[in-house]
Amino acid sequence: MKNDPKEATLIYVSQVIESMNALSSLDWNTIDQILELIHDSKDVAFFGTQFSQSAAMQFQTDLLMLEKYTTAYLDSSRQLDCAKKLNKESLAIIITVNGNLLNTSTKVLQYIKKSECKVVLLTANNELDLGTQYNYRLLLGEINEKKTGKHTLLTILELMSLRYYCLYYPSIDQLRNQLS
């Protein structure tokens, strides 16, 4: 980037395009099962660090607009407090593109495991072992460059929001019939 920003831009854009192409192999069966868990769970909480948690908060906003309340905090101490309140009926969605959560949030992961809640893992790290069982694991494609994983994550969460809308939000006709 310092010596040739135009060339660096071309390289970066091609890496992003390559990661977006990996989305053609998304496992929509697993996504639908995750969305069903989100829909049917009363207590849904997102856990992640930095960018992953920011993306989770965007997904949280989309779900809220679709009348589904979830919890997501950027602050690690609030995430820890949230993890302490999980129970068997809760759903924890762990988002860690590269697996950094394992290094920074071990206490949160311990409380998630202790709660025996349902767990969904969204990651691009196929080798990641969080030391806890999960109900569903969604791989965010084969990401060879760590910097492009955030684009894939945002795109997948946007697609999941759109799919949630299609599956669970009433149509205009349904809403009219409810008002009649």
Q: What is the pLDDT of residues 20-68, one digit of tens each?
A: 777 788 889 999 999 999 999 999 999 988 888 889 999 999 999 999 9
Strands of 91-95's sheet, edge to edge? 71-72, 44-47, 91-95, 118-123, 136-139
State pTM to two decimals.
0.87
Q: What pLDDT shows up at residue 142?
A: 63
Positions of the chain with pLDDT under 70: 141-146, 171-180
Q: What pLDDT shows up at residue 143?
A: 59
